[in-house]
Amino acid sequence: MSRLPLGEMPGGIHPAEHKSQSNGTPIQQAPLPKRLILPLNQHIGAQAQPCVAVGERVLKGQLIATANGTISVPLHAPTSGIVSFIGPQPYPHVSGLLSEAIVIDSDGLEQWVELSPCADYRSLAPAELLAIIRSAGINGLGGAGFPTAVKLSARSAQKIHTLIINGTECEPYITADDRLMRERATQLIGGIEILVQLIAPEAVLIGIEDNKPEAIAAVQAAIGPRPFTLKVLPTQYPSGGEKQLIQLLTGAEVPSGGLPADIGMLCLNVGTVVAIHAAVLEGRPLISRITTLTGAALSRPMNIEALIGTPVGELLAFAGLQEAQLDRLLLGGPLMGFSLPSLEVPLIKTSNCLLASTATELPPAPPALPCIRCGDCAEVCPASLLPQQLHFFALGQQHEQLKTHNLFDCIECGACAYVCPSNIPLVQYYRAAKADIRELENKQLKAEQSRQRFEQRQERLRGEQEQKDAERQARTEKVARAKAALAASQTSAESGALPAAPQGLSDEQKKLKIAASMAQVTLKKAEKQLALYTDKGGDTRELQAQVAQLRSAALSAQSALDAALATAPAAASTPDAELALKKAKIQVAMLRAQVRKFEQLEEPNAEHAKQLQGLREQLAAAEQVLEGLPSQPPASLAPPVLNAAMQALKQAKIALAMRRAELKKAEQTGAEELTALRAALAAAEQALHAAEDACGKPAPNLQRLDKQPIDETTRALKTAVALARADLRKLERDPDTPEAALSDARQRLLTAEQHLQQQHS
Ligand code: SF4
Ligand code: SF4
């Protein structure tokens, strides 16, 4: 924060004041107009939102439009009447464009809405005071129109230590604040006390130019013993600029692009402070203001308190407008004001002066000449800018240069244009350049927002596509796995072979697989033999018994393999375990059904009994295997394959013991089916071999276990049987063996077995 000597500001001019035209008479009350036009955007920020409808009767002071967001201001009915129109209406702007407005036809009754004055405002919290000011629809009455409640809501980091009250009114012709301070100094000081209650500043400074002695006296008297400081400033234009006044009163300089709050200061116009007083202590919303009616085209210049929305033509008529004399009608003073497009436009909250000038009073500006680089404009600029450079950059639309040269610090005071010997309308160039830059920045902002929305949408679409791809890939893989499992299952079912073994089988699994394959091959061969004998009508009982035993052995071997595949953590996957469990259950169910079928026979013969016995044994083995399988697929390193294999081994041992007991009993009783029982015993021994292989145990010494004392004759007969059987098998392996030779070999084997059987018996 830089400092200049107190009471000084850079630049400034001393134009003719012309204030005496209007400040000699007290403030007049304007007559009630028949029709009021209330624009919705009488302030900086978002325009208010109508909350009344056409045809609705409203009371004086009633809310007719609500604030639209934080930077906005509500609007109230200035008188009682009927809402006759809501839509585009004439608006006091240099463009002459229409603006949205609420039109009220006055009923002449001036019937007030019920007000809520608050005499004891010191009991209110700051937020409550602020809410009153906000709901009263107050914005700055000095010209800019910034929402006052927003201005008073300084962030906590911006502690306001100095409250500055602006009573300078430096522009020629305008005397509204002068008359207000003279006549309503008490309300002014009352409003300052409300502000002190609200923001608790350390100092209050009131600045008034020395060309208003009556106002200075009135305010000083109203201040009384209060710790408010009234500073009288030399008359100089534009001392009323916010930044300039702060500099004049405190020596502090608001930084470029900054706000007074940035340096702990807050500046309010005297009219605004009086409006705050009325809002809090009387409960009155802002529905009227004091404005100066002046200019040589008026026969009775004055200051007048008029309702917001009063057409300016009616006000000027009240002040004795001589339309024949009227050359230009300005809203504001001759330096910062602008020409009004018609007399139909309404008075709004920021209208501080209507200047009806004659041609001799404010003659048209002469044609502009080229800049002679005299530097006078820079001499008078209160913002320490280089107006001629800004003019040069504005002509070339060099926006970056304009921003670099602090175009937006220009307060459009017009001092530069006032002194320019080339009559260049400098301020118009600056306004146009500011509008261009703001429009361009708005476009860039919108384009950036559009770009961000587009990128966010692209990102979202990309994410959705990636998710779809991942889901599609997962579905494809799932289908592929299901197809592979189905194909493996079909292959296994069609060939009777084992399901495809996973990669990396353990040694035990390999042994089980080999044993199961061998058992299947043996079984198929026996079945083939049985089918052949059956076709020839021979006695197949022995062969049937053999097939039954081999089937049991094959089942045991395959179940042991299934169990190993299902439970082995390294080799069996979850689907394999499920498959093994499923197959074991199916096998059990099928055997149970077959057992039930035989059990339900009304007159079973010996063959039926034998088959039933074989099926029961198979069922017992299958149930044993099923019990050895986990009911759920293994989730981790499951029970070792050895458990299932041991179960199968145990079952095989039991089967072998049973066969052996049956054979022994038959031999002792001289039964005829010795051959079949011996074959069953051999099959049981084979199954035991397979089961022991699966367990990794050495093969049992069957010779020793089966060793029986035999004589030489028996041994010779057995040898004969073995030789006959070997011959037969040799012939059977040769596909070209004549049927007669096969028949002879079978007969020899049968004869040898009969001889052996006779020997045993
Ligand atoms: S006062 Fe006018 S002529 Fe002189 S430098 Fe400024 S713009 Fe140019
Ligand atoms: S209008 Fe802008 S550039 Fe000209 S004197 Fe005023 S602040 Fe300076």
Domains of the chain by residue range? 28-357, 366-495, 498-708, 710-761
Q: Are 613 and 672 in contact (CB under 8 A)?
A: no
Nearest CA to ligand 1 atom 2: 420
pLDDT band at 501 (very low <50, low <70, confident <90, very high): very low
The number of the ligand nearest the C-alpha atom of 369 reads 1
Residue 497 C-beta-side C-alpha neighbours within 13 Å: 10
Which residue's CA is the nearest one to ligand 1's atom 7? 388
Ligand 2 atom closest to the Cα of residue 417 is: 4
Average pLDDT over residues 134-151: 92
Q: How far apart are CA 517 and CA 554, in angstroms?
A: 8
Asked if residue 413 has its Cβ within 6 Å of ligand 2, the reply is yes
**CA distances for 256 relative to 83, 383, 407, angstroms:** 45, 9, 10
Give the chain's radius of gyration (CA, Å). Answer: 57
**Spatial distance between the Cα atoms of 145 and 625, rounded to a whole number of angstroms:** 94
- Specify whether the backbone of 711 is left (phi greater than 0), alpha (psi in -120 to 50) or beta: beta
Report, at the CATH architecture level, how domain 28-357 is classified.
Answer: 3-Layer(aba) Sandwich (3.40)
Confidence label for 36 from pLDDT (cuts 50, 70 and 90):
very high
The mean pLDDT of 324-335, rounded to a whole number, is 95
Q: What is the pLDDT of residue 661?
A: 82
pLDDT band at residue 323 using 50, 70 and 90 as cut-offs: very high
Q: What is the mean pLDDT of residues 231-257?
A: 93
**Weakest mean pLDDT among 115-119, 398-402, 637-641:** 637-641
Least confident interval from 299-313, 370-384, 559-573, 635-649: 635-649
What pLDDT, on a 0 to 100 scale, did the predictor assign at position 154? 66
Q: Give, in degrees to the nearest 5, the angle at Cα 179 between 340 and 227.
A: 125
pLDDT at 464 over 80: yes
Query: What number is the average pLDDT over the span 94-104?
Result: 92
Query: Which residues sit opposite 38 in a β-bridge?
Result: 102
pLDDT of 2: 42
Among residues 638, 616, 655, 664, the alpha carbon closest in space to that of 760 is found at: 664
Ligand nearest to the CA of 395: 1
pLDDT class of 167 with cuts at 50, 70, 90: very high
Length of the chain: 761
92 contacts 332 by C-beta, under 8 angstroms:
no
**Mean per-residue pLDDT, 654-658:** 84
**Which residues are CB-contacts of 233 (< 8 A; sequence separation ≥ 6)?**
7, 168, 207, 208, 209, 210, 239, 245, 248, 249
pLDDT digit string, tens, across residues 203-215:
999 999 999 999 9
Q: Within 10 Å of residue 455's Cβ, how many Cβ atoms?
A: 10
Q: Is the CB of 385 under 6 A from ligand 2?
A: yes
Predicted local distance difference test score (pLDDT) of residue 386: 97
C-alpha span between 102 and 54 (Å, rounded): 9
Answer whether 43's CB lies under 8 Å from 147's CB. Answer: yes
Does pLDDT of 635 surpass 50? no
Mapped to the 3 state alphabet, what secondary structure does 615-662 carry? HHHHHHHHHHHHHHCCCCCCCCCCCCHHHHHHHHHHHHHHHHHHHHHH
The verdict on the CB of residue 427 being under 6 Å from ligand 2 is yes
Verdict on whether the full-model pTM lies above 0.75:
no
* Best residue for ligand 1 mutational test, from 13, 369, 374 (most atoms within 8 Å of Cβ): 374
The reported pLDDT for the residue numbered 4 is: 47
Is there a contact between 263 and 252 (Cβ–Cβ < 8 Å)? yes
Q: How far apart are CA 643 and CA 508, in angstroms?
A: 12
pLDDT band at 133 (very low <50, low <70, confident <90, very high): very high
**Cβ(415) to ligand 2 under 6 A?**
yes
The whole-number pLDDT of residue 406 equals 95
Q: Which ligand is nearest to the CA of 380?
A: 2
Q: How would residue 701 be classed by pLDDT, with cut points 50, 70 and 90?
A: very low
Q: Tell me the mean pLDDT in the region 605-623.
A: 82
- What single-letter DSSP state applies at residue 282? I
Mean pLDDT of the chain: 86
- Model confidence at 156, pLDDT cuts 50, 70, 90, reads low
Pocket-testing residue among 385, 392, 407, 431, ligand 2, by greatest number of atoms within 8 A of Cβ: 385
Ligand nearest to the CA of 406: 2
> Which has more pLDDT, 700 or 211?
211
Find the 424 Cα to ligand 1 centroid distance in Å: 8
CB of 422 shorter than 6 A to ligand 1: yes
* Residue-wise pLDDT tens digits, 540-597: 777 777 777 788 788 878 878 877 776 655 444 456 677 778 888 888 888 888 888 8
Please report which helix (H) or strand (E) contains residue 584, including its range.
Answer: helix 574-599
